A and B are shown apart, each in its own frame.
Chain A
Amino acid sequence: MDRETASSIGEDTQPEVKISVDRVFKIFGDRSDTAMRMVREGRGKEEIHAETGCTLGVNDASFDIHAGEIFVIMGLSGSGKSTLLRLINRLIEPTSGAIRVDGQDITKMSKRELIELRRRDMSMVFQSFALLPNLTVLENAAFGLEVAGVPAAERQAKALAALEGVGLGAYAASRPDQLSGGMKQRVGLARALASEPTVLLMDEAFSALDPLIRTEMQDELLRLQSEHSRTIIFVSHDLDEAMRIGDRIAIMQHGNVVQVGTPDEIVMNPANDYVRSFFRNVDVSNVFKAGDIARETQVTLIERKGVAVAAALERMRRHDREVAIVVGRDKRYHGMVSAESLAQAARAGEADPYHKAFLTEVEPIEAAEPLSNVMGRVAESRWPVPVVDERQRYVGSISKSALLMTLDRTTT
């Protein structure tokens, strides 16, 4: 039942694929041929390491990254996140497989083409910032442009604009060691954005910052993303961060990509215990939206001319429900009635019994509302609370028991 609700969210048009990772393997070590053969025979990471001394960094990864999304790669330490990220700009050479960026297989690119790709399309932000200490902040921000041979005046203007974009225009002449951690990483961001790449690779970019600054930087990233949408691949070992900023998340375990999906999909359908173990201590009410736990378990009455109220009451009696949702033929939400209010309206001989019977205290909830915002209303309401989508169509309702079950399931 979970799967249906999850997949019914946001399935609009087919998203444009920006990067496609296709059966990619990475084996570290000198005997990668032997190791690769063992991988194909289906032997495990430990066994391969014991026999060949090689480490299986990434094992048969296949997934697509969509244009303009923030794609988070998550997993425990040593699970292969950084390796996977570096395969995308070939800082690490894949052992086998194809990685296509805009349809072009980068594993087949020459050195020159690869350098062009890195200068034009991709840039990177590092965990410990990796600002060059011998350069000023401005020179650091201009580094990518300088390497690409952009004339001095132009690159300084662009770098300054990028610095201003992250609020550090005033620090252009400073040295990196004069800045705080958060400011350094803003410079790291400015350096990455100055060349206007379409793809941004970020390896634990905010992990070295303290929690407050970290949230601030996440917001900064989301703000920059809203101004100018780029494809961002973000490595994190922190589920909270992943859920907060990720449009989709890939979860890695021992070099395998065990699950790819939206935060909701992953919370609701964890692929295995490893994935499940990540949200032991996450506050799910921030992760779930009202639409995620709304269920179509209530009786729905379709409002049509000339349909007898008696039939509606009969259906409610048979399903043993005290209330029912009244919708239009287009599934648009009209209101909620109780058996009592409907019977009363019918007895009074109203021309439009449904409307007279609507329970005025019941207000529908938007499906996109975070669960944390509506928990109070659900808890206080006498009836299950109806949930509607952005076009006012009824998607289901949340009962108190459903709410309790959701909260309970994720805290155990």
Chain B
Amino acid sequence: MHFDLHIGEGANAVVNYILDHFTPALNFIATVIGFVTDTIKAALTGIPMPVAVIVIVALALWRVSWKFALFSLLALLVIVDMGLWERTMETLSLVLAATVIAIVVGIPLGIAMAKSRIVTVLVRPVLDLMQTMPAFVYLIPAAMFFGLGAVPGTIATVIFAMPPVVRLTNLGIRQVNGEFIEAGLAFGCTARQLLLKVQMPNALPSIMAGINQTIMLSLSMVVIASMIGAGGLGNIVLTGIQRLDVGTGFEGGLAVTVLAVILDRITQSLGQRNTAFSFGRFFGARANRGEVPSSATPPAKT
């Protein structure tokens, strides 16, 4: 016996239906995401290269160690030497835009999962799907909905990179010490106060780990996103592949790796309370106060 459920046809129908009936919604999403990506891109590419290098090296020195700061300096100079600075900033802005959107959507979703069993049951398979479905599959509908360019690239990146921040927000909140919760309730917290004053601050290390993973996954989407015109270092890698030019491809890949290592170490350090350098205590004390959203995207603000 052979059953044909026509799943492929069904997917086509859904995509067409969305295209026919949800154009205003698609336009709205495109506008919002376009705004986020454009702003971040303008900000990052607008900063003179030496200033940007100094800021990144200073962050590395303050949060990680002087050895890592030295490594960052040399690695960034290599990127400049390869003539890939502009492209690197484009990629960084794509990664940061995707991360910002993943955080804005993902943290509330993670909180909702922690609070409601129904939300957990509904969202968990969707997260699995987002992480396992090959990116090429949703690249095409994304391009159909939003055209070519940075917007569909960002959306494809968000889909792939958002699950960790959702999962680790959920996990972080669920893992907050039961006595802290009891203390909060015993002193008369409302549900909202409990979330803001007890659960979120204590889930912060876990949430930061989620953000770190989201950034790493965003970087791994760089080449794929370039296929639909997201630009950045991915273009260099693609050019290398198309021309069978190993050297160009390697340079692009090296720049991505450098970016990954620097972002990884710096965002990881933001999840911890203590700073690497004693003179950094002064800044550290200030940074520790309003930690959640501001520290998640430090390079974008500087």
**B186 close to chain A: CB less than 8 A:** yes
Is there an interface contact between A201 and B186, defined as CB atoms closer than 8 Å?
yes
In the bound complex, what is the Cα–Cα distance between A116 and B202 (angstroms)?
25
A137 shortest CB reach to chain B, Å: 15
A62-88 residues with Cβ-Cβ distance < 8 A to B are 86
Q: Which of A116, A128, A144 is in CB contact (< 8 Å) with B179? A: A128
Whether A122 sits at the interface, judged by CB under 8 Å, is yes
Q: Return the 6 tightest CB-CB contacts between A and B, nearest first.
A: A119-B188, A124-B186, A118-B188, A130-B179, A144-B187, A130-B183
Q: Which residues of A contact B180 (CB under 8 A)?
A: 130, 132
Q: Which residues of A contact B (CB under 8 A)?
A: 86, 89, 91, 115-116, 118-119, 122-124, 126-128, 130, 132-134, 143-144, 146-148, 191, 195, 201
Check B185–A144 contact: CB distance below 8 A.
no
Q: Residues on B close to A: CB < 8 A?
A: 177, 179-180, 182-190, 193, 197-198, 201-202, 204
The smallest beta-carbon distance between B114 and chain A, in angstroms, is 18
Total A-B contacts with CB atoms under 8 angstroms apart: 58
Q: A134-B202, A147-B197 are in contact. Are A91 and B187 (CB under 8 A)?
A: no
CB-CB nearest in chain A for B197: A147
Chain B interface, >50% SS class? helix
A91 near B182 (CB under 8 angstroms)? yes
What residues of chain B lie closer than 8 Å to A122, measured between beta carbons? 186
B188 near A134: Cβ-Cβ < 8 Å: no
Measured in the bound complex, the distance between the Cα atoms of B189 and A124 in whole Å is 13
B10 CB to closest chain A CB (Å) equals 38
- Of the candidates A119, A124, A132, A191, which one forms a contact with B198 in the assembled complex, judged by CB atoms under 8 Å apart? A132
A147 touches which of B182, B189, B202 (Cβ 8 Å):
B189
Contact between B183 and A124 (Cβ–Cβ < 8 Å)?
yes
Residue contact A130 to B190, C-beta cutoff 8 Å: no
Residue of A nearest to B187 (CB): A144
Q: How far is the CA of A157 from the CA of B277 in the complex (A)?
A: 34
Chain A nearest CB from B228 CB (Å) reads 42
Closest chain A CB from B272 CB (angstroms): 13
Given A124-B186, A143-B197, A195-B187, 20 more pairs with CB closer than 8 A: A89-B186, A91-B182, A115-B190, A118-B188, A119-B187, A123-B186, A124-B187, A126-B179, A130-B177, A130-B183, A132-B198, A134-B202, A134-B204, A143-B187, A146-B197, A147-B187, A147-B193, A148-B188, A191-B187, A201-B186
In whole angstroms, how far apart are the Cα atoms of A42 and B240 in the complex?
Answer: 81
Contact A91:B186 (CB < 8 A) given known A132-B180, A134-B202 = yes
Cα separation A275 to B65 with both chains bound (whole Å): 61
Which residues of the other chain, B, contact A118 by a CB distance below 8 angstroms?
185-188
**Which B residues touch A126, using CB under 8 A?**
179, 182-183
**24 examples of A-B residue contacts, CB within 8 angstroms:** A91-B182, A91-B185, A91-B186, A115-B189, A115-B190, A118-B185, A118-B186, A123-B186, A123-B187, A124-B187, A126-B182, A128-B179, A130-B177, A132-B201, A133-B202, A134-B202, A143-B187, A144-B187, A147-B188, A147-B189, A147-B197, A148-B188, A191-B187, A195-B187
